[in-house]
Structure 1
Amino acid sequence: MTGTLVADPSSSLAGRRVHVKVPATSANLGPGFDTLGLALAQYDELDVAVADTAGVQVEVHGVGAGEVPLDESHLVVRSIAHAFARAGVPLPGLSLVAHNTIPHGRGLGSSGAAIVAGVVAAKGLLDGIVEFTSDELLELATELEGHPDNVAPALFGGLTIAWVTPDGPRHKKLIVHRGVSPLVLVPEHEMSTALARSLQPESVPHEDAVFNVSRSALLIAALIQSPELLFQATEDKLHQHYRAGAMPETDRLLRELRSAGHPAVVSGAGPSILVLASDPSERADAVARAEAAADTAWQALPLAVDFLGATVQPA
């Protein structure tokens, strides 16, 4: 963090308001387990204002309304508090109004989006008092999320490669080929990320590791240059089949889509499915197959790639 703390930061914060917009994300993308992430044009937006009185007021509209906490334990508020604590600035009273569209518990990065919304809101509120670098924002978000594969694309947009060094998490943003048209198929039921991760083995066969290294490298080339390679590039042996038993509806539709030649993968920890289509007819066929599924209802979300990532501006 850079910047000069004033004697009484609370006086400089009085009356500040910011508007934040954060995209959904899909992590892993098949073979890129805990490394690759893609920002999608589905957004949570929130307005945060410094209040005249101590404490926190939270209002939630859309997804999560009536379900998420409306006090200091709200994930966005916790993330704002984390950033303020790192900056050494006392947390002022806050008023927060959230308008959410990212599905919860479906593998579309809703918790990562909330965390990123909080640290970006803190950045906006502290503008001119303490400045955060991109690496510092990523570090703050990763500390809360536990891994950078969702928070990196939520912060920076596009396709991101994220990794961890002794000095903290790092990322590289890449621009996705305009021929790639993501489709997300969202089921009615949720999936716990913690449960999904618990199904992973501690070690995998050497040949499976080599297989995924090759497909991850190919996937980067397919997404930024050669979409015709997406089907082979989205093959995976490290995580999806281990989790299949916990989400049988996802596994059945995923198998059907791939048997029909669609580059389909589990989105994040699931249970949503991401299809990295390369033309409208491919999208349409995938939607038709999901609509014909008898075991659960699937919501089809044809989404663009988000190239901006999280944004914050005075409100």
Structure 2
Amino acid sequence: MNAALSPAPGRSVVVRVPATSANLGPGFDTLGLALSVYDELVVTALAEGELDIELTGQGIDDVPRDASHLVVRTIAYAYEAVGRRMPGLRLEAHNVIPHGRGMGSSGAAVVAGLLAAKGLLAGDVELGDETLLRLATELEGHPDNVAPALFGGLTIAWVDETGPMHKKLLVHRGVSPLVFVPEFTMSTSVARSLQPLHVPREDAVFNVSRSALLIAALTQSPELLLAATEDKLHQNYRAQAMPETTRLVLELRAQGFAAVVSGAGPSVLVLADGPGQRLAAAEFVATQIDTPWEALMLAVDFKGGTVKEYAEGSTQTA
């Protein structure tokens, strides 16, 4: 039996997805934090077979304008997963999340595509949170970025015999994120290829203790963030591929700032324990570091990705 075509051409939804920072030091492939930088998209159903893509913002010269666009591929993946034929699409995307900088741009694109599909299919097929996380993980390969992009806040992600799971936690109001973004990029696949298959037992125990401490620091005791963000599982192994990032992390930590590689890098995330410490970190980098870094003073996004449907000039959550 052929898959049904849904929805009718003309339905339009707007999607907003936050940037994310994964790992947070010791929480390799497990912890992620949603940040207040957002990609925004308007996706409209057209007659089957039509495709129109308009892009503005970050990285648009390197993004395809055909069916290979990651958002379009994700929408197609979602439609196939629920047994529906995808309509034609008009995609209007404003990219604000930096590409290739360790701020979850590919995860955000996947989440944006899934939320667009959720909005376009509303009233026909319902895509719940578990399905969204499962499809996002299948496409992204691991849930540490897509979980906070979907649900916001601080997320712990893991995979069991039933599939990917997550727990969302509220971050202490004193935690003040700061991201230093360089001009150069880093390939996530290259960064991951530098990881060894086995690590010393003492390093594994070290990271278990720091990951547990990091949850306490982010939710209850921000004054513990410097100790809680120590890592021996991934950052040292990737250092050779991004020496400027490694140098900035080490210099910030020597000054008492809880600095880590953001995701696979090369951006650097500082988890300050208050606005004053965040300002001090930004001033230190601006005055003492020769390599140019753009300082983004951000908030933790607590909402996660959203999708709304346009209906006669008004919007309502899909």
Normalised by the size of structure 1, how large is the TM-score?
0.96
Question: Which structure 1 residue ranges, 5 or more long, are not aligned?
Answer: 1-5
The alignment-based identity, stated in percent, is 67
Q: Does residue 201 in structure 1 map to residue 186 in structure 2?
A: no
Q: Report deviation, 1:263.
A: 0.6
Letter in 2 for 1:114: A
Q: Distance in 2 between matches of 1:87 and 1:52?
A: 20
Q: Does residue 186 in structure 1 map to residue 181 in structure 2?
A: yes
From the superposition, tell whether residues 199 and 8 of structure 1 become closer, same or farther in structure 2 (CA, over 3 Å): closer
State the number of aligned residues: 310
Q: Report deviation, 1:9.
A: 3.5
Question: Which structure 2 residue ranges, 5 or more long, are not aligned?
Answer: 311-318
Q: Report deviation, 1:66.
A: 2.2
Q: Does residue 274 in structure 1 map to residue 269 in structure 2?
A: yes
- Alignment partner, residue 264 of structure 1: 259
- Give the counterpart of 1:84 among 66, 79, 97: 79
- Alignment partner, residue 20 of structure 1: 15
Q: Distance in 2 between matches of 1:9 and 1:150?
A: 31
- Alignment partner, residue 3 of structure 1: none
- Give the counterpart of 1:109 among 97, 100, 104: 104
- Give the counterpart of 2:162 among 167, 171, 183: 167
Aligned residue for 2:85, secondary structure, equals: coil
Normalised by the size of structure 2, how large is the TM-score?
0.95
Q: Distance in 2 between matches of 1:138 and 1:202?
A: 26
- Alignment partner, residue 94 of structure 1: 89
* Superposed structure 1 runs of 4+ greater than 4 Å apart: none
Q: Distance in 1 between matches of 2:225 and 2:118?
A: 37
Kept in 2, the 8 Å contact 1:188–1:296? The answer is no
From the superposition, tell whether residues 89 and 293 of structure 1 become closer, same or farther in structure 2 (CA, over 3 Å): farther
Q: Distance in 2 between matches of 1:41 and 1:153?
A: 12
Give CA-to-partner distance per residue, 1:118-137, whole Å, 9 cap, x none: 00100010001111110110
Q: Does residue 141 in structure 1 map to residue 136 in structure 2?
A: yes
- Alignment partner, residue 62 of structure 1: 57
Q: Report deviation, 1:283.
A: 1.1
Q: Distance in 2 between matches of 1:150 and 1:47?
A: 22
Give CA-to-partner distance per residue, 1:221-276, whole Å, 9 cap, x none: 11011111111100000000111111111111110100011011000000000000
- Give the counterpart of 2:211 among 193, 208, 216: 216
Kept in 2, the 8 Å contact 1:13–1:125? The answer is no
